[in-house]
Amino acid sequence: MENPLLYPFDTPHQSIPFRKIKPGHFIPAIEENIKGALKAIDEVVQQAAPPNFENTIEALQNVGELLERNSSILYNLNSAETSDEIQKVTQQASPLLTQFQNDVRLNQGLFERIKTVYDKRGEENLSVEQLTLLEKEYKGFARNGALLTDHKKDLLREIDTEKAKLSLTFGENVLADTQAFALHITDEKELSGLPDQVKEMAAEMAQSKNKEGWVFTLDYPSYVPFMTYAENRELRKEMSLAFGRRGFQSNDNNNTAILLRLVELRKKRAELLGYESHAAFILEERMATSEENVKGFLEDLYQKAYPAAAIEWEAMETFAAQNLGLKQLDKWDTAFVSEKLKQAELKLDEQKLKPFFPLEKVTAGVFEIAGKLFGLRFEKNDALEGYHPEVDVYEVYHREGHFYALLYTDFFPRPGKRNGAWMTSYRGQKEGQRPHISMVCNFSKPTASTPSLLTFQEVTTLFHEFGHALHGILANTTYGGLSGTNVFWDFVELPSQIMENWCYEKEALELFAKHYKTDEVIPMEYIDKIKKVAHFQQGLQTLRQLGFAFLDMSYHGKEATEIKDIKTHESAILDRVQFLKDNPESCSSTAFSHIFQGGYSAGYYSYKWAEVLDADAFELFLEKGIFDPQTSKSFEDNILSKGGTEHPMVLYKRFRGKAPDPKALLKRAGLVK
């Protein structure tokens, strides 16, 4: 059969014909794509004309389109719909793609042309976007070994190949351990405290595995409600320990050696390029600029959050002792006790909110909000293929009715799909090409008797990922390399985190928070309580995020390679941000996919950094009105559509009229008056 990956797709909007693509198509196509891309690069290098922006920098932007498309399809499937076959193919593709990237970045003739254009940039009449692209290309080569000796270039190639394969294996191991565990319950008494919908989901899971009773897994829609509501403490302990052991057991999925090797390789690579640490290398191209700035930022937040967290923890301990008979809190108690305390203090049982958040209505609501803010319209098109029957595909239209993007939505957990939530892209935007964007989440599935009803946290997750999707959908730049989420990593979370704010506003909630049976709009008293939930235990929540950020920086800072034992190291780092007794069987680091499989190495701090930006930016919406057309048009024009065409602080100030004020975050969290 002909390989569909060898040609542009002859489909509406060049959408992906997933049903025609087989795992066996990828490697032959990628090998062919690489040959074609290297030939095109050779033509750029060998041309007789002296180097200029158009014949060198612009020409490079159009090289390897099919390769980029096909590798995106493969890696996205490996995250959202993998199989043994897809995993094997991805492991085969990884060294090929790494070698190709190095063949390009270490091509001396190509770099010399780019350097000539860069050195003479003042002689051409370049736009701000062209200057930004030129600088990005030059730095991309310089920061990836173009200035190294041949011997050091060879070393870099070896490091990059090994690093890429280890990251993939790290993720595969976490997924394997996640799927290997199931808690099988046959006695209904052991389900005490669990909401009916959670029990129904577990019964359907058991049925799918040909078992009697109920099955709970480590997938978030199963794990989180179990830890929050199950009254059986021993079973909570069993689940918690299984979750904490992922990548940390005596089996083939153990990630400890892989993690230490990744840390070593990242440091070695940075030093080869003249940086003292991986963090120094990464942060040079971030708003934060340096390891010292990040540590100062995190430490400042820690000093503000710790006193509040200590008071909140004491309140939890007192409540647990007086009302739940728990004299000492362990990790498997915190979500359970926190929920009971929240119910007692705020008189809010979050299960009572769920009927007002059916997934279908929340999705329609976020689309309507995007329509009010940015003039977008979403039309589901069943004729366009998804990669799984649960995936919906929408055509997105902009203000004057122009087609603007495709959006894939994939909302439920299943085997072969990693935990968590993310936005990704199958095709980027550039002049003459609109993007194909995907939103992937793991929400509670519908059951035989109820639709998918979201917790409030799942609602905010959907809005968060949709904010990332908007960054891709509304991208409107000339060059793909600067489009959409191709921005500084500590700026990329602003569009996602600012969207969460609409979940707390009455005017927005009334559009979509409607009871799935009666269509009753969520009562005002619940909206008031939702706002109070936003402040509930913010000290402890902040410390938890800071813990991950401190851990990330420790693995990528100057002393990273001095770490000999992961568990000992992790315990020492997290000791100051948690009040629990450490459990020797659990380890967060060995399942910390954000930094060891995803792109957040030396970048986890950016969640808190972007919260400062989003709290400050949303103050303008609150001041002018949350659907104010002028403010939303300015946000679209200066942030969402611009991608990385200018420095993020320039774009931010153009929208906000000033630099961000860190106090906005602390005020919103209730940590300062």
Residues that are catalytic? 465
SS3 label, residue 203: helix
CB-based contacts of 416, cutoff 8 Å, min separation 6: 80, 81, 82, 83
| Token pair belonging to 161 | 């190949």
Nearest to 613 by CA among 648, 645, 637: 648
Which stretches of 120-182 are DSSP H helices?
A: 128-142, 150-180
Distance CA 230, CA 244 (A): 18
How far apart CA 214 and CA 470 sit, in angstroms, is: 39
Query: Which pair of structure tokens corresponds to residue 481?
Result: 């390399």
State the Cα–Cα distance between residues 640 and 468, nearest whole angstrom: 9
Q: Which tokens is 321 given? A: 């002792």
CA distance 280 to 605: 14
Whole-angstrom distance, CA of residue 350 vs CA of residue 532:
12
| Single-letter residue type at 552 | D
Give the closest residue to 436 by CA, choosing from 400, 391, 401.
391
Q: How far apart are CA 471 and CA 474, in angstroms?
A: 6
d(CA 621, CA 501): 10
The first and second tokens of residue 372, run together, are 């009010």
Sheet harboring 402-410: ordered strands across?
Answer: 377-380, 392-398, 402-410, 436-440, 422-427
The DSSP code for 522 is P
User: Please, what is the Cα angle at 99 between 97 and 100, to 5 degrees?
Assistant: 60
